[in-house]
Copies of this chain bind each other. A is one copy, B any other.
Amino acid sequence: MEKSDSMWKITLPICINAIMSIGAYFVAVRLIPKLRDMFIKANLYGIDMNKKSSDKIPEALGVVTGCVFLITMFLFIPIPFSDYIFNNVNFPHNEFVELLAALLSICCMLLLGFADDVLDLRWRHKLLLPTIASLPLLMVYYVNFNSTLIIVPKPLRSWLGFSVDLWLLYYIYMGMLAVFCTNAINILAGVNGLEVGQSLVIALSITIFNAIELSGDLWKAHQFSLYFMLPYISTSLALFKHNWYPSSVFVGDTFCYLSGMTFAVVGIIGHFSKTTLLFFIPQIINFLYSVPQLFHLVPCPRHRLPKYDRETEKLNMSVAVFKKSDLNSLSRLIMGVFRTFRIVKWQEDKEGTVTCNNLTLINFVLLVAGPMREPTLTTILIIIQIVSSLLAFVIRYPLAWVFYDI
């Protein structure tokens, strides 16, 4: 009896959340085409550089699904607490605090993302503002858990002991997680449907992970995460429908920031930030591969999107062209390593002019597999994301059993 009671307590709010999420999908999927003209009129549009036509495609539609997502969550707020509300005793303020802080951080990022799409913010804002937006979250972590202890993997225990308390470092790590997640999705972008596609795979992976862990001791944290993941997935699906090739709307930085912060929030509050990071393998690889250009060790053109060939209607790698003599010794060393492993296309002519592909995962796929149509490219990248998630589950479960006593 007691067991079925607690099952009910765990699953009922999730079911209600799921139903509301389905409603949110239908609202979002109908709202997006209705609001298209409003965005174009407000000068929020782009031209799709990988298409023959030069129609105006409305930009930053992520703000619409973001708002539908937030509204769904606002309406959902009382549900997990209905038990306490009706019996009017011992309201769990500590859980309510988590929900509010999570929503506050997400709402801030939605505002920041939209401001970025409209105003074209500078890089320092893009790094500073997510850090500040995650402050309420860190404060909640501090007062509710303040557990900064990490368990050391078995092979390292003879040096470091069973556990290490990271203290302030752990908070810096969590603050940086928010910055990383928001920007990592934003730089793996540029072909129709990729931003939403990769985010959906990450969200689904987190959802599966939560569903597995729901039967464990920490079910509350995973229930909390599911409250956010389900409406996030449904509203993003609605966006995906309109953003898939050929895109009738663009998602904008708004969507990338919203997504990154949502993942960081559930990871931090749900105590599974390391697992969350595991689902970001392609983003981490893309970031590391991009480092030489992001930090201007190698010249970085303004756009690193693949190049559209109007004849074949296929996408080719885009390249950066520069003088070899412009590189400093660190750049030469790094690019030497890249060339040894053959992960760049590098051509030098007699005068020392170098042609090198732009260092993004998208161009890397084109380097390996050759020119292809845009939807094929997006599909391959999404499959990479799915395979990475499978790998993440292998690391999280069988391998973790080897390295930790669980």
A positions within 8 Å CB-CB of B: 35, 38-39, 41-44, 63, 67, 70-71, 74-75, 77-78, 81, 84-85, 91, 93-94, 96-97, 100-101, 103-104, 107-108, 110-111, 114-115, 118-120, 132-133, 135-136, 139, 142-143
State which of B94, B111, B139, B142 has its C-beta within 8 Å of the C-beta of A111. B111
A119 touches B38 (CB 8 A): yes
A226 vs B264: C-alpha distance when bound (angstroms):
32
- Tell me the interface secondary structure of chain A in the complex: helix
| A104 contact set on B, CB distance < 8 A | 100, 103-104, 107
CB pair A120–B70 under 8 Å, yes or no, is no
Given that A75-B132, A132-B75 are known contacts, is A107 also in contact with B111, CB under 8 Å in the complex?
yes
A43 surroundings in chain B (CB, below 8 A): 42-43
Contacts of A114 in B (CB 8 A): 111, 114-115, 118
CB closest chain-B residue, reference A78: B139
Bound-complex Cα distance A201 to B72 (A): 36
Chain B residues positioned under 8 Å from A38 (CB to CB) = 119-120
Contacts of A70 in B (CB 8 A): 108
> Given that A85-B142, A101-B100 are known contacts, is A119 also in contact with B39, CB under 8 Å in the complex?
yes
Report the minimum CB–CB distance from A178 to chain B (whole Å): 13
Contact yes or no, B100 A132, CB < 8 A = no
**Contact A132–B93 (Cβ < 8 Å):** no
CB contacts (< 8 Å) of A63 on chain B: these are 115
- The reply to whether A85 and B143 form a contact with Cβ atoms under 8 Å apart is yes
Q: Are B136 and A103 in contact (CB under 8 A)?
A: yes
Report the bound CA distance from A132 to B27 in whole Å: 16
